[in-house]
């Protein structure tokens, strides 16, 4: 019993501590500031058993009641957003206002999902027979979340899974466990014990969960490399899967855009959350006629954008969230330097042990350079010239990833036509980073498997059941 009571796990409706702990670091200074439970194998068993015991009652609870509880959970997140946002900033790094927006946004997302009811399809209704296909919940869901949008991406799983009638064991990233643990405790009064369990732990816990026989489905958001391990592990028990994985999104900027209008939007589509967004613009293809002008405008915005501690007034972008990711981005920067690419950097960053990296634009690197080919997940953006639309579409599609992409043009008919040729799960025209709770989101190619959000996302937590009645 060595952990602070504040950060307890929620198992079977109880606040639970653990023998071992994991340390939580503030990325704005590199210092440990809290401890979270490191869930043992026995505690994982307890959580799964609790969720299994709660499943039948929860499944048989009328959907309207389940929806009402999920709506209430959304209310609580919105109510506590300001208070949770300070903790969010300490563990995740993002400035406090933007942190509060994520928590509030997660609450309104839950409200929207709480309005959804799965359909029933009647395929025969005659004197002799009645046939319908309805959707039934799966059982206990294993939910694994990443550190870049720790609250939002967790609630994208919680809301549909619980509305659908499943129970859940949720695990946040070891880098950002605290807000999620708090939310577990906050929502504990709403759902019956065992319906919604939250556990935390180190690198061993994810594999322990995916190989646990008690789960019916794994819903995972994280990197493509980890997603492959999750899929392999899930295959043993033939568990259902949703995988929301990495991306290397291309944006194509046509020569007819109004740069006064779009430059800042393009900038924040690439750098918001210090570029730690699965759907951030990670390759920026710009028509050669406007290339220099846009590059100079982006450089000026970078210079005027304060990167620093998210608790300080005026900070727009925070640090990289963790040391592992920080070193990865530094390695990409080193490679860019070693291969003599031209880099344009924004304002200076604090040198205080925090994981800070200046906003960096790489000026027209070769297509095969690492910074173009790899998902950086940090503020280093390759900007590339094009002159021919067929060529640039091919370059944009030339990736194992297929998460999202953007087209910027005044000619929206032409942009719609280009959008049809982009091989990604989401395509934006004259906007970016926009997602809705009623619209399916998922990756093509190695960016994912299955979808979240919308009715398609809800049905990923259910199985069709055909009922044949002879009259």
Which residue among the candidates 35, 91, 102, 244 is catalytic per the annotation? 244
Taking the least distance from each CB to ligand NAD, the nearer of 105 and 246 is 246
Q: Does the annotation mark 278 as catalytic? A: yes
Among 74, 443, 450, 454, binds ligand NAD (CB under 6 A): 443
Among 139, 165, 174, 269, binds ligand NAD (CB under 6 A): 174
Residue 380 lies near ligand NAD (rule: CB under 6 A) = no
Cα end-to-end span (Å), the chain: 62
Q: Does the annotation mark 179 as catalytic? A: no
Cβ 83 to ligand NAD, closest distance in Å? 24
Residue 230 lies near ligand NAD (rule: CB under 6 A) = yes
The count of chain residues that interact with ligand NAD, using the rule CB under 6 A, is 28
Residue 229 lies near ligand NAD (rule: CB under 6 A) = yes
256 contact partners, CB below 8 Å, separation of at least 6: 409, 410, 411
Among 268, 291, 377, 428, binds ligand NAD (CB under 6 A): 377
Residue 263 lies near ligand NAD (rule: CB under 6 A) = no
Among 35, 244, 249, 309, binds ligand NAD (CB under 6 A): 244
Residue 147 lies near ligand NAD (rule: CB under 6 A) = yes
Among 206, 308, 354, 402, binds ligand NAD (CB under 6 A): 206
Taking the least distance from each CB to ligand NAD, the nearer of 134 and 328 is 328
Residue 375 lies near ligand NAD (rule: CB under 6 A) = yes
Taking the least distance from each CB to ligand NAD, the nearer of 107 and 378 is 378
In the shown chain, the binding pattern of residues 444 to 463 toward ligand NAD, with x for contact by CB under 6 A and - for none, equals: ----x---------------
Taking the least distance from each CB to ligand NAD, the nearer of 278 and 383 is 278
Which residue among the candidates 278, 375, 452, 460 is catalytic per the annotation? 278
What is the set of active-site residues?
244, 278
Q: Which residues bind ligand NAD (CB under 6 A)?
A: 144-148, 153, 171, 173-174, 206-207, 210, 221-223, 226, 229-230, 244-247, 278, 375, 377, 403, 443, 448
């Amino acid at each position: 019993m060595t952990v602070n009571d504040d950060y307890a796990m929620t198992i079977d409706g109880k606040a639970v501590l653990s023998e071992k702990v994991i340390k939580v670091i503030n990325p704005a200074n590199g210092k440990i500031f809290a401890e979270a439970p490191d869930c043992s194998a026995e505690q994982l068993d307890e959580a799964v058993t609790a969720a299994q015991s709660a499943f039948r009652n929860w499944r048989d609870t009328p959907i309207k009641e389940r929806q009402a509880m999920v709506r209430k959970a959304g209310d609580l997140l919105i109510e506590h957003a300001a208070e949770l946002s300070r903790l969010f900033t300490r563990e995740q790094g993002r400035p406090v206002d933007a942190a509060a927006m994520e928590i509030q946004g997660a609450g309104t997302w839950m409200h929207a999902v709480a309005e959804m009811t799965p359909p029933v399809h009647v395929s025969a209704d005659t004197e002799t027979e009645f046939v319908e296909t309805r959707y039934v919940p799966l059982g206990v869901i294993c939910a694994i979340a990443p550190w870049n949008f720790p609250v939002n991406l967790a609630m994208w799983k919680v809301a549909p899974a619980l509305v659908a009638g499943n129970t859940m064991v949720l695990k946040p990233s070891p880098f950002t466990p605290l807000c999620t643990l708090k939310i577990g405790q906050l929502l504990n009064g709403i759902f019956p014990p065992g319906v919604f369990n939250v556990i935390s732990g180190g690198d061993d816990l994810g594999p322990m969960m995916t190989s646990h026989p008690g789960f019916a489905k794994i819903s995972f958001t994280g990197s493509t490399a980890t997603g492959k391990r999750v899929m392999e592990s899930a295959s043993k028990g033939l568990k259902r899967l949703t995988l929301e994985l990495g991306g290397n999104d291309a944006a194509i900027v046509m020569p007819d855009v109004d740069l006064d209008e779009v430059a800042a939007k393009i900038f924040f589509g690439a750098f918001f959350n210090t570029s730690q967004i699965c759907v951030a613009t990670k390759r920026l293809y710009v028509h050669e006629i406007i290339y220099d002008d846009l590059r100079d405008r982006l450089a000026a915005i970078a210079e005027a954008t304060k990167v620093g501690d998210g608790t300080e007034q005026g900070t727009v972008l925070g640090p990289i969230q963790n040391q592992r990711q920080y070193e990865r981005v530094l390695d990409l920067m080193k490679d860019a330097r070693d291969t003599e690419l031209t880099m344009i950097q924004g304002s200076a960053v604090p040198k205080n042990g925090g994981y800070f990296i200046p906003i960096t634009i790489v000026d027209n690197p070769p297509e095969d350079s690492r910074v173009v080919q790899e998902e950086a997940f940090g503020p280093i953006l390759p900007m590339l010239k094009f002159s021919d639309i067929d060529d640039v579409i091919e370059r944009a599609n030339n990736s194992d990833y297929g998460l999202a992409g953007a087209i910027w043009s005044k000619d929206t008919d032409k942009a719609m036509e280009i959008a049809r040729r982009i091989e990604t799960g989401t395509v934006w025209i004259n906007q970016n980073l926009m997602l809705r709770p009623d619209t399916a989101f998922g990756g093509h190619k190695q960016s994912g498997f299955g979808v979240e959000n919308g009715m398609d996302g809800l049905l990923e937590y259910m199985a069709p059941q055909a009922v044949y009645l002879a009259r």
